[in-house]
Structure 1
Amino acid sequence: MKAFILCAGYATRLGKLTENTPKALLEVQGKSFLQLLLDNLNEIPEIDEVVIISNHKFYKNFVDAKGAGKMVTDKVVTILDDGTSSNEDRLGAVGDVAFALNKIGYEGESMILVADNWFDFKISDIYKFYRGKDRGNTVFGKFETSEKVLRGGAVAHVDPKTCKIESLQEKPAVPDGNYACGAFYIYNADTTKKIHKFMAEKEKGNNIGDAPGYFPAWLVTNNEADVYFYDIAPYHNVDVGTLDTYHNIDKIIDSCNREVESYFSNPDGRKYAVASDWTEIIK
């Protein structure tokens, strides 16, 4: 298996903070978002290579970081330049994956991640779930009640017995479900090959967006492949997409830690949905 880390965005919402530094290399509590991913991927021996996909603007930043020993991992690290230099000519998330697959000549199992979130779950647990589903394509997420959050990303309707996703929408106007999906995907080899079919459909102008959630939504909607949902509760996946979130990340992490501690110390058990204030509890 190879892990593909999407780092070709421009993080314009973070202003001057990412003017000369890619978001993936910003640090949270002394560790970059990218290193947080690498630490987790080191726990999965089946992953033999990590492919970092950068835009042209920040390609040298990643090469320099690797050369300076700021990518600590036991995996082979390949850094690719997708050749784009602005939001206007970007390839899009799935487009970058297709570019990387073609560049390295790969059609096997793939793990696709973004490097701009803080999280406290273990990626190895999601990988074990994937293996337990006989290498069933897997996305992760958690129960969410905020309609604003649900409208802003991929939303799944899940069979509670099998964890199979019955419907999946990316940025729905009216959410059909309460499971918000994170930008993290594990695909078996057969499904990895279908990324090129998806891109061909997209190029025909079939109203397909470039967010990473559009591909699994296409798989489910068109019966191309089964996709399963891994619930990360009581853990968290925090999208650090604004300056306010980044500057308050220590407070957010403290809140998340207290939620997890409370969850495991409560004999009745409780589920949490991280809302805009990161403290909403769903009983």
Structure 2
Amino acid sequence: EIDIVFVVTNDRFHCDFVNWAQSFAPSYSKPIHVLNDGTRTNESRLGAIGDLVFVVNQERICDDCLVVAGDNLFDFELRQFVEFFKEHGTTVGLYVVKDMDLVRRYSIVELDAQGRIIYFEEKPQNPKTNLVAICLYLLKQTDLPLLHEYQCDGQPMDAPGYFIQWLHKRTEVYGFPFHGIWFDIGDHKSLEQANRVFSKLQEE
């Protein structure tokens, strides 16, 4: 069901990702377009939501979108996630994080009986749940214009959870819990841990 894949990177690493896409393309049936957002420093970066706005505008996307942060690493299938989205609309991937100190780095979520998000808080100081949103979104075509509204409101453009925190108060947003292995690669330690886990899975 995927028509095309867009990978957004900064100017510094653009060539690296172009080379990766060219080497990966023969094993993948869909076209992969690597987009350069033109930034080279932390001070000039667009942020995760800024890059999403960038690709939607530049490519004039007018379709449902699967959004996956590049620092996500997981082993779960997305088929049921897609089916849930088709039935309910804009949907966010969820995951239970056992370490409450880690929960403070993410976004916490509460759902109603139908799975609709009724509470969302980005980077909570005192989390009241360990059900967190991960940057794995399925956005309806009709919700894409709200990205522009969010930007014009002067909202934070970095952490993607702030957009969902804003969005769920304006339209229906649902949550879909995942089970399996998920890593948010934020530093060398988490990268090494993920490498150990996935290397072990390949050996089994």
Give the TM-score normalised by the residue count of structure 1.
Answer: 0.66
* TM-fit CA distance, 1:209: 5.1
- RMSD, matched Cα: 2.0
In the alignment, the residues of structure 2 paired with residue 143 and residue 62 of structure 1 have an alpha-carbon distance, to the nearest angstrom, of 31
1:54 Cα deviation after fit: 0.9
| 1:173-219 C-alpha deviation (Å, 9 max, x unpaired) | 122433111111111011111111011112xxx5x352111111101
Distance 1:256 1:132, change over 3 A: farther
In structure 1, give the amino acid aligned to 2:79. S
Q: How many residues align?
A: 201
- 3-state SS in 2 of match to 1:87: coil
Kindly indicate whether residue 158 of structure 2 is the aligned counterpart of residue 210 of structure 1.
yes
State which of 210, 219, 223 in structure 1 corresponds to 2:167: 219
Residue 255 of structure 1: CA displacement? 8.1
Task: Report the equivalent of 1:175.
Answer: 127
Q: Of 247, 269, 275, which aligns to 2:192?
A: 247
Contact 1:151 1:172 survives alignment (8 Å): yes
Higher relative contact order (CA 8 A, sep 6+): 2
| TM superposition shift of 1:78 | 1.4
Matched, 1:228 2:181: no
With the length of structure 2 as denominator, give the TM-score of the two structures.
0.90
CA distance in 2, matches of 1:191, 1:90: 24
1:158–1:179 Cα contact (<8 Å) kept: no
Deviations 1:120-179 (A, max 9, x none): 10122211211132xx111112233432122101110112x2111101111111224331
1:20 aligned residue: none
Matched, 1:95 2:50: yes
The question of whether the paired residues in 1 share the 8 Å contact of 2:115 and 2:174 is answered with yes
Counterpart of 1:185 in 2: which secondary structure? Answer: strand
How many Å separate the matches in 2 of 1:245 and 1:47?
29
Contact residue 110 and residue 131 of structure 2 kept, 8 A: yes
Aligned equivalents of 1:240, 1:156: Cα separation in 2: 21
The amino acid that maps onto 1:112 is V
Separation in structure 2 between the aligned mates of residue 150 and residue 256 of structure 1, nearest angstrom: 26
Given residue 50 of structure 1, which amino acid in structure 2 is its aligned partner?
A: V
Q: Unpaired segments of 5 or more residues in structure 1? A: 1-45, 258-283
2:163 corresponds to which letter in structure 1?
F
| Aligned-pair CA distance for 1:254 | 7.2
The AA in structure 1 aligned to 2:184 is: D
